[in-house]
Structure 1
Amino acid sequence: MESFCMSLKANASPVNVSKVRSNGGTVFWGESIRGGLKSRDFGTQLWKSLRAENGVKKAKLGVVHSILTPEINKETMNFEAPKFETPEADPKKVASIILGGGAGTRLFPLTRKRAKPAVPIGGCYRLIDIPMSNCINSGINKIFILTQFNSFSLNRHLARTYNFGNGVNFGDGFVEVLAATQTPGEAGKKWFQGTADAVRQFVWVFEDARAKDVEHVLILSGDHLYRADYMDFVQRHIDSNADITVSCLPMDDSRASDYGLMKIDGAGRIIQFAEKPKGPHLKAMQVDTSILGLSAQDAARYPYIASMGVYVFKANVLLNLLTRSYPSCNDFGSEIIPSAVKEHNVQAYLFNDYWEDIGTIKSFFDANLALTEQPPKFQFYDPKTPFYTSPRFLPPTKVDKCRIVDSIISHGCFLRECSVQHSIVGVRSRLESRVEFEDTMMMGADYYQTESEIASLLADGKVPIGVGQNTKIKNCIIDKNAKIGKDVIISNADAVEEAERPEDGFYIRSGITVILKNATIRDGTII
Structure 2
Amino acid sequence: MGKTIAAILGGGRGERLQPLTSYRAKPAVPIAGKFRLVDIPISNCLNADIHDIFVLTQYLSASLNRHVAQTYRFDVFRAGQVTVLPAEQAGTGQDGWYQGTADAVRKQLLRLEAEDDDDILVLAGDQVYMMDLRDFVEQHRASGAEVSIAATTCSREQARAFGVMKVDADNMILEFAEKPQEDALLDAFAVPGLKAPHTHLASMGIYLFRFKALAELLDVDSRDDFGKHVLHTALERFKLHAYPFTGYWEDVGTIASYHRVNLELTDPVPALNLFSDAHRLYSRQRFLPPAKVGEALVQRALLCDGAIIGDGATVRKSVIGIRMVIGPGCTLERVVCNGAGGYDFEQPHPAGSIPLGIGEFSILRNAIVDRDARIGRGVRLLNERNLDSYQDEYIRVRGGVIVVPRRGTVPDGYTF
Per the normalisation by structure 1, the TM-score is 0.76
The structure 2 residue matched to 1:511, chosen from 389, 400, 403, is: 400
Letter in 1 for 2:316: Q
Q: For the Cα contact (< 8 Å) 2:116–2:210, is it kept in 1? A: no
Give the alignment partner of residue 56 of structure 2, picking from 146, 154, 164.
146
State whether structure 2 residue 233 is matched by structure 1 residue 339: yes
- Which among 370, 376, 387 is matched to residue 264 of structure 2? 370
Judging changes above 3 Å, is the alpha-carbon distance between structure 1 residues 109 and 214 closer, same or farther for their aligned structure 2 residues? Answer: farther
Q: Displacement, 1:494? A: 0.9
Which residue number in structure 2 is paired with residue 180 of structure 1?
87
Residue 374 of structure 2: aligned partner: 483
In the other structure, the counterpart of 1:27 is none
User: Which residue of structure 2 aligns with residue 102 of structure 1?
Assistant: 12
2:39 equivalent to 1:134: no
SS at match of 2:96: coil
- Which structure carries more relative contact order (alpha carbon 8 Å, separation 6+)? 2
Residue of structure 2 equivalent to 1:39: none
Q: 1:145–1:177: 8 Å Cα contact kept in structure 2?
A: yes
Query: Per-residue deviation at 1:301?
Result: 5.4
Report the equivalent of 2:132: 229
Larger radius of gyration between Structure 1 and Structure 2: 1
Shift of 1:379: 2.3
**Which residue of the partner structure matches residue 422 of structure 1?**
317
Instruction: Summarize the Cα distance change of 1:170–1:258 in structure 2 as closer, same or farther, 3 Å threshold.
Output: farther
Distance 1:432 1:313, change over 3 A: same
CA contact (8 A) 1:95 1:214 kept: no
Amino acid at match of 2:71: T
Q: Structure 1 residues 377 and 182, CA, compared in 2 at 3 Å: closer, same or farther?
A: closer
Match of 2:190 in 1: 286
CA offsets, 1:319-361, max 9 Å, x none? 11112x102x100111100221122111111011111111221
User: Match of 2:164, as an amino acid?
Assistant: L
Indicate conservation of the 8 Å contact 1:93/1:213, yes or no: no
Q: How does 1:30-429 map to 2 (within 5 A)?
A: 93-165=3-75, 171-181=78-88, 189-206=95-112, 208=113, 211-212=114-115, 215-278=118-181, 279-288=183-192, 302-323=198-219, 325-327=220-222, 329-417=223-311, 418-429=313-324
**Deviation of the 1:213 alpha carbon:** 7.4
Secondary structure of the equivalent of 2:79?
coil
Give the distance between the partners of 2:255 and 2:204, measured in 1 at CA.
Answer: 19
* Superposition deviation, residue 171 in structure 1: 2.1
Aligned equivalents of 2:90, 2:140: Cα separation in 1 = 36
Counterpart CA distance in 1 for 2:405 and 2:174 is: 45
User: Which amino acid in 1 is paired with 2:247?
Assistant: D
Aligned length in residues: 414
CA RMSD of aligned residues (A): 1.9
CA deviation map 1:183-239 (0-9, x unaligned): 7778x8421100110111112212x3xx34761110000111111111211111111
Distance 1:375 1:299 in 2: 25
Alpha carbons 1:469, 1:486 under 8 Å: kept: yes
* Contact in 2 for aligned 1:189/1:201 (Cα 8 Å): no
| Pairwise CA distance, 1:514 | 0.9
**What is the identity, as a one-letter code, of the residue corresponding to 1:431?**
I
**In 2, Cα distance between the equivalents of 1:203 and 1:213?**
12
Give the match's secondary structure for 2:237: coil
1:163 alignment partner AA? R
CA distance in 2, matches of 1:115, 1:265: 39
Q: Which residue pairs with 1:11 in the alignment?
A: none
**Sequence identity, in percent?**
38
Secondary structure at the aligned position of 1:258 is classed as coil
| CA apart distance, 1:182 | 6.6
